[in-house]
Amino acid sequence: MAHSVSAKKRIRQNETHRARNRWRLRTMRIAIREFLEHAQHGSDKDTQASFRKACQLIDKTASKGVIHKNTAARRKSRLAKRLKAAGKPA
C-alpha cells in the first residue's frame, strides 16, 4: 500500500486513466462490430457511414495512446478490405 501523498494520488490517477482507456477501447470495438454487421446485412449508405465512424474512433483511440498507430492502421486496412469485399464503394 502506498504511504506518500503523491503515491496515493498516482493510484487515483491510474484508476481514472485505466477506466477512460477501457471506455475508449470498448467504444472502438462496438463501432467496428456495428460496421461488420452493416457490411453483411445493411445498405450501402449505412455501411459507409459506419465505416467512417469506425475509422474515426480508431484514429482517436490511437492518438490518445490507447493503441499503437500501426495497430490502428492495420485495423483500418482490414476494415477497408471488408468494405471492398462487400461490394460497397467507399
| Total domains, the chain | 1
**pLDDT computed for residue 1 by the predictor:** 81
Examine residue 18 and state whether it is found in any structural domain, yes or no: yes
Q: How many helices (H) and strands (E) does the chain have?
A: 3, 0
In a domain, 90, yes or no: no
Is it the case that residue 88 has pLDDT exceeding 70? no
CATH of the domain at 64: 1.20.58.110
pLDDT of residue 42: 84
Per-residue model confidence (pLDDT) at position 33 = 97
pLDDT tens profile 25-83: 999 999 999 999 999 998 899 999 999 999 999 999 999 999 999 999 999 999 999 99
Closest by CA position to 67, among listed 35, 27, 36: 27
Domain span at residue 69 reads: 5-85
Nearest-angstrom CA–CA distance, 18 and 23: 9
d(CA 71, CA 76) in angstroms, rounded, equals 9
Residue 64 lies in a domain: yes
pLDDT band at 87 (very low <50, low <70, confident <90, very high): confident
Nearest alpha-carbon partner for 47 in 13, 1, 87: 87
Structural domain contains residue 13: yes
Q: Answer whether residue 63 is part of any domain.
A: yes
